Amino acid sequence: MLAPIFEARIHDWEPHLQQMCAFWSSVALMSGRYHGTPMVKHMPLPVDAGHFDRWLALFEATAREICPPEAEAHFVERARRIATSLELGIANGTGVFLGRGERFRRHQAGGHQ
């Protein structure tokens, strides 16, 4: 579900992985290493709530597998906030303004895009 979206856009994974490490270092450890615009980078992606749910499921499983419980909770809480923020930003960028608790679905019949 996620691989085709990123494989179509990222041809050299090493710089992207370095950016992700800097991002998570800044988010989780307040290192200040990341200087980028994740919303701008993710806005053009053809993603919606289902993609964010899948990303979070993978993220949470990985965090559970490799982190001690306190670190897992720390990373997962931030990942959930980031997913919510990106989903809202992408929805707004397409002209869909979500209400509290609503999710962004690109092909929802009779409602949001």
The per-residue pLDDT for 50 is 97
Q: What is the CATH number of the domain that holds 15?
A: 1.10.490.10
- 32-51 pLDDT, tens digit per residue, is 999 999 999 999 999 999 99
The predicted-structure confidence for 49-101, as pLDDT tens digits, reads as follows 999 999 999 999 999 999 999 999 999 999 999 999 999 999 999 999 999 99
* Domain ranges, residue 45: 3-93
Whether residue 99 lies inside any domain: the answer is: no
Tell me the whole-structure pTM to 2 decimals. Answer: 0.88
| Cα torsion through 41, 96, 106, 81, rounded to 10 | 50
Residue 60 lies in a domain: yes
Output the pLDDT for position 22: 97
CA 41 from chain centre, in angstroms, equals 11
Domain count, the chain: 1
Q: How far is CA 4 from CA 8, 31, 46, 47, 83, in A?
A: 6, 31, 11, 11, 19
Q: What is the pLDDT of residues 7-36, one digit of tens each?
A: 999 999 999 999 999 999 999 999 999 999
Secondary structure class of 17 (helix, strand, coil): helix
Does residue 108 fall inside a structural domain? no
